[in-house]
Amino acid sequence: AQKITQTQPGMFVQEKEAVTLDCTYDTSDPSYGLFWYKQPSSGEMIFLIYQGSYDQQNATEGRYSLNFQKARKSANLVISASQLGDSAMYFCAMRLTGGGNKLTFGTGTQLKVEL
Amino acid sequence: DTEVTQTPKHLVMGMTNKKSLKCEQHMGHRAMYWYKQKAKKPPELMFVYSYEKLSINESVPSRFSPECPNSSLLNLHLHALQPEDSALYLCASSQRDRGLGGHEKLFFGSGTQLSVL
């Protein structure tokens, strides 16, 4: 069975600074996908970024980048130039290739961006 | 704005009531999901429909009854709920994405905040 761990229940960052949200995972399956979702107070889960287990390069999407260290089984999200609108809950998630439509979520990190 | 629409946004019901949550998407996705989310917790998968057939049922109590009338609609029928069923219920849809290594990107609705009294 796969498991996702997010050890930071809450994080604070100053506006315009960069912040790293930690995510580690555990699976014996060699083929998997890693996802980050953002959930603002409105409730909707918003897809941010994806990293495949066989991808050689770290994924980037605008201000979001994923620091993928496969040997350490970590997939940390880096948000550059934080904005007030980045304040939200952030979930790391994993799906096994061939694992059906099941996405396993971590416990989340509440990020607050301050002036 | 989300492309997955959920109604109602808020629902208060008694333990003897029968109600339904509705979800609609017009992106042509063939997989649709129900998740339950307690405050400050991650979403928990309840049901998955693939091509209008129930493909995953995560041992959810029978007081929750999903229905997929067609490829665009997903309902969750509620009957005789308990106060501990109070939560945010999220609907999602997905399709395979080559840019995601064949994995499926989930598009979520804004959810229905359910309170059971």
| Three-class secondary structure assignment of B61-102 | CCCEEEEEEECCEEEEEEECCCHHHCEEEEEEEEEECHHHCC
Cβ contacts of residue A26 below 8 Å, gap of 6+?
A2, A3, A4, A5, A73
CB proximity B5 to A under 8 Å: no
B11-50: pLDDT as tens digits: 999 998 999 999 999 999 989 999 999 998 999 999 999 8
Whole-number Å distance between alpha carbons of B67 and B47:
10
Whole-number Å distance between alpha carbons of A104 and A11:
22
Give yes or no for a contact between B56 and B7, defined as CB atoms under 8 angstroms apart.
no
A54-88: pLDDT as tens digits: 998 999 999 999 999 999 999 999 999 999 999 99
Q: State whether residue B114 is helix, strand or coil.
A: strand
CB proximity B41 to A under 8 Å: yes
Give yes or no for a contact between B107 and B4, defined as CB atoms under 8 angstroms apart.
yes
Whole-number Å distance between alpha carbons of B59 and B20:
19
A33 closest CB neighbour out of B2, B100, B110: B100
B55-95: pLDDT as tens digits: 888 889 999 999 999 999 999 999 999 999 999 999 999 98
